[in-house]
Amino acid sequence: MQQMTTATFFVSLLAFYDACTLTVKLVYHQLGKHQVYLGSMGCKMAFLSNFFSAQANWVLVFICAERFVAVCFPLKKAYIVTKRRSYVCSAVMFIALLIPFALLYVFMRDSDPSGRHCGTFEEYVQFWIHGWYWINSFIYLFIPLFCIVILTAFIIRGLTRSRVDRRSIMRTSSKGEHGNRRLMVEVERLERSITVMLIMAALIFTILLLPSCVFLLAFTDSENPLVRARWRLFDQIQYVFSDSSHAVNFFLYFFSAQRFRNQFLCLLTCRTRRLTNQRQRCTESGITKYSIALSRGEET
């Protein structure tokens, strides 16, 4: 069984948050479409949609930061990026986003008398429209997007400079040690596949969220019905693009990383379990043969 690295941990966490985001959005979309009773609790729990979306975007920032250290500071990566620190950062970000999202929805949102529609308490409407609108936009969109663009640019720049250095270090450190050399080649292949996934995910993420940036920065209310209809159409387009940023990550993983494809296909075909059973039988057979040979040696 392969040991989980910090990179694979963050990729797994990103996949989890993407799945949660799409699931919650789909559930609330269907509840609203079919006029299902939500009640006060259902309206307050609606924060999960924005919460998981923000979590997914910030995990992508963590992946970019981890790849930045791996590419630009390969010798210091083991000391800077550790599993413990990655777990702590993920937990801190979870709590830091959960508290404001949950509290605001608990105290400011509720259902109407029918229980099928959600709204904001009258005393908080101005803050919700003019304050929380921009706070949520910066937490969910602008700050993560800025960090991802900057880190991805540094990663692409560092890739062209670090490849030769890493290979020379691998040759000198693993000289005469075939086992260590194979391990380092495998690690380098894994790091390269994750880096390719990251760059593609970051570029697609940037492209898909640009319409949201334009809408949030350029939207103006108008009395002209035609202008309002255009903004309404653009709002729906940017909404679809924004949600697609969570759905498209799976396909990026599948088409850009051979290891992900192999493990996913093994999961679907249950090949991993069969391989494990085969290895176990081979191990038991080897132990049996060794025991027989040992007993014969003792008899002689």
- For the chain, the domains span 6-264, 270-300
Sign of the Cα torsion 20, 23, 26, 29 reads negative
pLDDT at 71: 80
Q: How many CB atoms neighbour CB 46 within 10 A?
A: 19
**Chain Cα centroid distance, residue 96:** 17
pTM value is: 0.75
Those residues with Cβ within 8 angstroms of residue 236's Cβ, 6 or more apart along the chain or in another chain: none
Alpha helices (H) along the chain = 6-33, 39-44, 47-72, 77-80, 83-108, 125-126, 133-137, 143-173, 178-218, 225-256, 258-269, 271-299
Encode pLDDT of 218-245 as tens digits: 887 778 888 888 888 988 898 888 888 8
Kindly state the tokens that stand for 254: 């599948």
pLDDT at 170: 59
CATH architecture assigned to 6-264: Up-down Bundle (1.20)
Please check whether residue 192 is in contact with residue 258, taking contact to mean a CB–CB distance below 8 angstroms.
no
Encode pLDDT of 182-198 as tens digits: 666 666 676 677 677 77
> In the predicted model, what is the mean pLDDT of residues 160-164?
67
